[in-house]
Structure 1
């Protein structure tokens, strides 16, 4: 693929991970047009017409103009949703937001360019049930897992697990409680608490607890892999490393060939060029898949280890590497 053209960056304007990639592209003198989907339609003006060679036209912000024919690749990382005028009636607002999403998003999806990552594929890949199925089909080791709203089924599942049990939310839960930041992470489950009536209120995901020597964040860009061991120095960090970044130490490592092959098969099935994979490595050295984040953070790994992940992302967007 030619490296000529502009990289369209669609992300929140306050995203330090995206900042790393934009700075690298700027260093390489690659043209970048950065915007947030939430800026449309109030802060972005779109004019596109269909011609013999596809869609052409412009996307304009208050200070810059992007010619759609110049878009070489799109870096799509957790942008907002289209935001319309506040004074619209609620029913009209819903219609306008839907039309903005389908019109603006649909047009961008129709551009013949490289995406990291395609928004539809990335959204599908957020599904933990889908991830676990594809991981198992890709010959990766996965924990025994139950999804249920049946308290009795949860009790019976726990009875079949020789070790401990954990609960995981399907989606990151972050917010505030009593004015302070709060989050729900992986948590241990006492089998004596099962069956618990609250399980009936919604879907719950339970897994066997996998004994761990350490964990690994494996970041994949195209076919390039960057693996870092995560050694947590606290009890809560050993249950879920995301709960205590300050206690970690990191070490560069390499995935076993079978794991590398499985990861690439998994990304191919999911249609993703990027994935931030989390693995447990058992005391016996077995790599066990936990999840993959199609828009996962990588900056903290690069800063701690020096792994050139930003450069690999810039290579992919610039078109100099598969």
Structure 2
């Protein structure tokens, strides 16, 4: 029987965050097998059998390495990309092949008795902003007044009821390329009189009250450990959405209030997540207001700026030494 010793890292070819974790695991002499689901079936072959209660045994084979699925102790599920198929596969067959790859190869990985960070299904569910906001409020966190609508009149009424600036946010990161240049949509600050454009009718929109901020906080949770850093914006764009201007940011390590920490733990438990990158606004009065949680969010930029040992905590979790 194989001994479960290897950490399987599933991510794309370029992932500096996964690189941090792999480097630390290598320093600890923990076996690591890195792969991307896009390698299947052309660059990654699978042969696994089940014979009795011992579980799945066999081989995951890349050009240079072989892994027995039974040797996987944990999985760091970062940002794998979909399976890729040779150009000679007819287009009409690719949808079937992709679905079979997801259920077969993906299903095999999901069936392993390994520790996942994060569990893919739970992470996908938790990315829903409507779900996050409901759970956060139910766990005792303050959440901005929010409206989801495709009705321009309802959006205008919401803004008038707020009586101040309103924030528009996409439900997920929006990026595309225009004329060879990368374009992204971030949170936008709107005046009440600017809300209610007819284009709102074309799809669902999320609007929130603007919360006055002294600064923001990125709180990264790994298991029961919390790492919090204040984010102080140095530009007008960053004061609305700090992701729009990383170069202007200043970071300071902080401690979350006990009530916020307890609510974060409750929220992770309800969402079934061992990891979460939480974003908060801290008002001039010192109140923490929940904005969102990313179940697989970036943390490297905060660790680099503050020295908070998030990578070490992730590796402790993957090794099973975090208890």
Q: TM exceeds 0.5? A: yes
- Residue 182 of structure 1 corresponds to 183
| Structure 1 segment 141-156 matched on structure 2, within 5 A | 141-156=142-157
- The alpha carbon displacement at 1:4 in A equals 5.6
> Aligned partners of 1:195, 1:118: CA distance in 2, in Å?
39
- The alpha carbon displacement at 1:194 in A equals 3.2
> Aligned partners of 1:179, 1:60: CA distance in 2, in Å?
37
Q: Give the paired residue count.
A: 320
| Structure 1 segment 1-322 matched on structure 2, within 5 A | 5-52=5-52, 53-322=54-323
> Aligned partners of 1:270, 1:57: CA distance in 2, in Å?
33
The SS at the match of 1:284 is coil
- The alpha carbon displacement at 1:177 in A equals 1.9
- The alpha carbon displacement at 1:178 in A equals 2.1
> Aligned partners of 1:223, 1:38: CA distance in 2, in Å?
32
- The alpha carbon displacement at 1:312 in A equals 0.4
Deviation per CA, 1:26-81, whole angstroms, max 9, x where unpaired? 00000000000111111111011112211111101000000111100000011101
- The alpha carbon displacement at 1:182 in A equals 1.2
Gaps (5+ residues) in structure 1? none
TM-score (norm 2): 0.97
> Aligned partners of 2:59, 2:99: CA distance in 1, in Å?
21
CA RMSD of aligned residues (A): 1.0
> Aligned partners of 1:231, 1:194: CA distance in 2, in Å?
28
Deviates more, 1:311-320 or 1:188-197: 188-197
The SS at the match of 1:285 is coil
Provide runs of 4+ in structure 1 moved above 4 Å.
none
> Aligned partners of 1:183, 1:193: CA distance in 2, in Å?
21
Deviation per CA, 1:130-184, whole angstroms, max 9, x where unpaired? 1001101111110000000000110111111032101000010122222222110
Does the CA contact (< 8 Å) of 2:168 and 2:190 recur in 1? yes
Task: Specify whether residues 93 and 4 from structure 1 end up closer, same or farther in structure 2 by C-alpha distance, changes over 3 A only.
Answer: closer
Deviation per CA, 1:223-247, whole angstroms, max 9, x where unpaired? 1000000000100000000000000
Does the CA contact (< 8 Å) of 2:164 and 2:192 recur in 1? no
> Aligned partners of 2:304, 2:224: CA distance in 1, in Å?
21
The SS at the match of 1:291 is strand
TM-score (norm 1): 0.98
